[in-house]
Amino acid sequence: MGHVSLHYGRPEEGPLAARLLSALGFTQADFMVLPDGSDFYRFVVDPKHAERADGILFLSVSPAEQRALGATISDALKVDTPAPHPAVSAWRDALANLPEMNFHIGFLVSTLEEAERIVLDVQALNEKDDAFRGRLKASWNRAQRGDPAVDARLDASPVFAGKGSYVYEPIAAVQVFIESDIIVCGPLQDRMMLEFDYVFPGFHHG
């Protein structure tokens, strides 16, 4: 894969969005200020990609036209009001139960400890950092039970031993979902979701 283009939703929140990507483990490889005064970043999924043309996450402000379209749709459907359109409520309820339904980008991490770190760091930012407070959400799926070694490791995990659901495939893997309204997507300019997966050694997708 060459690159994915990500957008932050508010022109002034470029540095905050960049902080979030860094906290999730991505490496900032480039930065520039665009002619409109907004911040543009190039991140890579791994430092080995820093000088290459693949493994890239571009991060820039959502175009003004897209922000205007999203605001118009949100106003018409009364998004984030006490009485949103029923279609919006149904969609949000569905996402609460199955976040993978929405557009998202998935990344593989090389250790279970990295997946755990992402959850714990995001929870700490959401609870303790005023810039992020209340704007981040972490959820996760643990592997289905069946392999004694995998079950024991996850039962001892600071993340996966707690409340969570199970991956739907019979594979020894975990999924972490990070949602934020700082990075946005879609016609509603809605919360973007990034997924981080770890597959235990010796197991693979069929």
Q: Are residues 31 and 103 in the same domain?
A: no
Is 84 among the domain residues?
no
Please tell me the predicted confidence (pLDDT) of residue 48.
84
Q: What is the DSSP string of the chain?
A: --EEEEEESSGGGHHHHHHHHHHTT-EEEEEEE-TTS-EEEEEESSGGGTTSSSSEEEEEEPPHHHHHHHHHHHHHHTTTSSS--HHHHHHHHHHHH-GGGS-EEEEE-S-HHHHHHHHHHHHHHHHH-TTTTTSEEEEEEEPPS--HHHHHHHHT-TTTTSS-EE-SSSSSEEEEEEEEEEEEETTTTEEEEEEEEEE-TT----
Is 21 among the domain residues?
yes
Residue pLDDT, tens place only, 187-204: 778 888 999 999 999 876
Residue pLDDT, tens place only, 38-88: 999 999 998 887 788 889 999 999 999 999 998 999 999 998 899 999 998
Q: Are residues 132 and 197 in the same domain?
A: yes
**Residues of the domain holding 182:** 98-206
Is 103 among the domain residues?
yes
The CATH number of the domain holding residue 27 is: 3.10.180.10
Q: Are residues 53 and 122 in the same domain?
A: no
Is 72 among the domain residues?
no
Is 124 among the domain residues?
yes
Q: Are residues 202 and 111 in the same domain?
A: yes
Is 80 among the domain residues?
no
Give 185's strand partners.
190
Is 75 among the domain residues?
no
Is 88 among the domain residues?
no
Number of folded domains that form the chain? 2
Q: Are residues 34 and 106 in the same domain?
A: no
Q: Looking at 87-91, 133-137, 152-156, which range is the least confident one?
A: 87-91
Q: Are residues 47 and 106 in the same domain?
A: no
User: Whole-model pTM above 0.75?
Assistant: yes
Phi, psi angle pair for 44, to nearest 5°: -130, 150
> If you average pLDDT over every residue of the chain, what do you get?
92
